[in-house]
Amino acid sequence: MIVVAFNPLPDDPDSGPIRTSAEGTPERLAYLGDDVVEVFEKRDDWVEGFEVKARKVVARDPAAVLATRTPFAIKAVRVARDAKIRDEVDSINPMRWAAMSPALQARWAAYRQALLDITKPENLPDPFSPVWPDRPPYKDDAL
């Protein structure tokens, strides 16, 4: 038996967002309480992509799913951006920086600023597929 458990809405106890899915015998699933609906397949997207309406599992509106996922995607871009700044830019030691030409230093400064700006809405139209700026070379002869 496979079930999804949901959080009933205050004004409609037979509907609500799915909180988890589980598989087992009715006795093993008793801990989920009465707010469960039997389903016939295991899926990884029950919680995110579906909800319960009148004790039936229905697909959520794709726009609502996207709205739920977008903040997490933006946070993932920020985490990746912070790692790029830490590992690629801020790790340049002072001796290497001093050996760079002013033009190359300007390119690195522009690259760091582009990384900082990537999470601005105008620079991140699709947070699920960010377009990263090109990293400049470390040496002038690679120009």
Q: Please calculate the CA angle 30-12-67 and round it to the nearest 5 degrees.
A: 90
Are 33 and 98 contained in the same domain? no
Are 49 and 80 contained in the same domain? no
Are 73 and 56 contained in the same domain? no
Q: H helices then E strands: how many in the chain?
A: 4, 5
Are 77 and 99 contained in the same domain? yes
Are 74 and 134 contained in the same domain? yes
Mean pLDDT of the chain: 91
Counting the structural domains of the chain, the total is 2
Q: Is the pTM of this model over 0.75?
A: no
Question: pLDDT, tens digit, for every residue of 77-91?
Answer: 999 999 999 999 999
Axis-axis angle for helices 62-84, 102-117 (nearest 10): 150
Residue type, 3: V
Q: How far apart are alpha carbons 24 and 22 in whole angstroms?
A: 7
Domain that holds residue 32: 2-60
Question: pLDDT, tens digit, for every residue of 2-53?
Answer: 999 999 999 999 999 999 999 999 899 999 998 999 998 888 888 888 999 9
